[in-house]
Amino acid sequence: MIARPPIRRRLGTTTVEVAVVISVFLLFLFGILEYCRFLLMLHVVTNAARDGARYAVVNVNKPTNFDTVDYFDGATTFPSVKKYTDSKSAAVQQMLTTYTVSVFPCDMTSLNATPPVVVTKTGSPSWNQAQFGDRIAVRISGDYKPVLPNFLFMSATIPINIAVTMNSEG
């Protein structure tokens, strides 16, 4: 009679292999979802800044505090530039831990630099006193908060700073 070697059982091996493969797969999947969520937030906030800048350049005839205070002309209430911009980015504001909107006249010499830098024009009193063709900027700043920063080995917040400039129509 031929002696057969004893059968070695590998109990639990499949469970361990599945756990390792699922861990790597979930890390990859959640990384893709988090990156897509970040790109969505950037897209919406950029469009909100663009809409806010357009709203600011067509309303340069409003009072100096129109960037933060609504304006009532006797018949119609115009929302402030900040409120208008907030309404355009309301869908993603919960993704940001801080959120600020600022409107200011833009320095043309720094815009012509390489790379362009959006800074406040020195000596200019207010954004709504810009002359025709001057640049007005709307900047949205905040900190993006990932859903699973520890799981994906990310920092707790990612700073964003989006500035859009447009020519004044005033």
Q: What is the 3-state secondary structure (H, E, C) of the chain?
A: CCCCCCCCCCCCHHHHHHHHHHHHHHHHHHHHHHHHHHHHHHHHHHHHHHHHHHHHHCCCCCCHHHHCCCEECCCCEECCHHHHHHHHCHHHHHHEEEEEEEEEEECHHHHCCCCCCCCECCCCCCHHHCCCCCEEEEEEEEEECCCCCCCCCCCCCEEEEEEEEEECCC
| Mean pLDDT of the residues in the chain | 88
Question: Each residue of 129-144: pLDDT tens digit?
Answer: 888 888 999 999 999 9
Q: What is the pLDDT of residue 84?
A: 94
